[in-house]
Amino acid sequence: MATEISDPAAPTDADAAAARRLFDALMPPKAGRNLSLTVDDQEVPIPAALVPALVEAAKLVADGHAIDVVPADEEISAQEAADILKVSRPHVLNLVKKGILPCRMVGAHHRIPTGAVIAYKRDQAPRRRSLDALSAETQELGH
């Protein structure tokens, strides 16, 4: 099954406020804490494996980001990886060639683990923020 890369909508202000309340309620994480939610007057437990993703999703929505869910153990094409990373397909293939992103070949096609793509994107986020800040500072100085 191929991963559907959707174009999720940005959250509304009300969504962001609700997500902030959820994030605040979930923080700080406590080992062994049992979480549940109520749906139509029925209490449903939240599996422990879901809690880190729920915390991250709440944080992102609270900050105004659109989110999507992608299975970490699924493999995607180089183009799908490029779409997630917002880079070109040749750049992704260069990352594969350098051994930065793992892949396996299926015929002539590269299959890249989604988890590896997400981990790479997460690792690059601080660097990207630093570069954006430096660029903004340069713009302020008139260069």
**Stated length of the chain:** 143
pLDDT digits (tens, 9 = 90+) for 13-47: 999 999 999 999 988 877 778 889 999 999 999 99
In this structure, how many other beta carbons lie within 10 angstroms of the beta carbon of residue 26? 18
**pLDDT in the model for residue 34:** 84
pLDDT digits (tens, 9 = 90+) for 100-143: 999 999 999 999 999 999 999 989 877 777 877 888 888 888 76
Q: Identify whether 132 is part of a domain.
A: yes
DSSP string, 38-64: EETTEEEEEPGGGHHHHHHHHHHHHTT
Per the structure, the count of domains in the chain is: 2
Block residue for tokens 């892949």: 103
**Could you give the dihedral angle defined by the CA atoms of residues 46, 50, 56 and 60, in that order, rounded to the nearest 10 degrees?**
-70
pLDDT digits (tens, 9 = 90+) for 71-87: 888 999 999 999 999 99
| 114/71 Cα distance (integer angstroms) | 7
Q: Domain span at residue 120?
A: 75-140
Residues 89 and 131 in one domain: yes
Residues 83 and 127 in one domain: yes
Give the three-state DSSP class for 104. Answer: strand
- As given in the structure block, the two tokens for residue 111 are 């299959």
**pLDDT in the model for residue 7:** 64
Q: pLDDT at residue 8 above 80? A: no
**pLDDT in the model for residue 33:** 81
Distances (CA, A) of 44 to 26, 40, 75, 87, 139: 16, 10, 31, 40, 51
Last residue of a domain, one of 24, 39, 62: 62
